[in-house]
Structure 1
Amino acid sequence: MKINPPLTWHPAPISASPDLRWWLTHQESLTRLLQARCEHFRVEPTIQTLAAACFDELTVMNLRRHNRVLVREVYLRCDETPVVFAHSIVKREHLKSAWRGLSRLGNRSLGTMLFTNPLIQRTPLAFKNLKPTHPLFERACEQLPSRPINLWARRSLFVLQQQPILVTEVFLPAICQL
Structure 2
Amino acid sequence: MTRAVREAARRWQRAPGSLTQRLFAWGGEVRVQRLVQAVQPLLPGEAADLGVAPGTRCLVREVVLRVGDAPVVWARSVAPASSLQGPWKALAGLGQRPLAALLFVDPRVSRTPLAAHWHGRGSVWHHRADEAWRAAAGQPWPANVVAARSSVFTRGGVPLRVFEAFVPGISGPLMR
Give the TM interval when normalised to the shorter protein: 0.7 to 0.9
TM-score by length of 2: 0.86
Match of 1:69 in 2: 58
The number of residues matched between the two structures is 164
What's the CA shift for 1:45? 0.3
Matches within 5 A, 1:160-175: 160-175=155-170
Paired-residue identity, %? 32
5+ residue gaps in structure 2?
none
Name which structure has the greater RCO, CA cutoff 8 Å, separation 6+.
2
1:19 correspondence with 2:19: no
5+ residue gaps in structure 1?
1-14
Query: Runs (4+) of structure 1 moved beyond 6 Å?
Result: none
CA spacing shift, 1:167–1:128, aligned 2, 3 Å: same
Is contact 1:74–1:87 with CA below 8 Å preserved after alignment? yes
- Bigger CA drift: 26-35 or 133-142? 133-142
Match of 1:59 in 2: 48
Counterparts of 1:16 and 1:130, CA distance in 2: 15
The one-letter amino acid of 2:51's match is N
Counterparts of 2:23 and 2:146, CA distance in 1: 18
CA spacing shift, 1:80–1:23, aligned 2, 3 Å: same
The one-letter amino acid of 1:66's match is G
1:103 correspondence with 2:92: yes
RMSD: 1.8
Secondary structure of the residue aligned to 2:129 is helix
Secondary structure of the residue aligned to 1:157 is strand
- Bigger CA drift: 160-169 or 54-63? 54-63
Q: Name the structure where helix makes up a greater proportion of residues.
A: 2
Counterparts of 1:83 and 1:138, CA distance in 2: 17
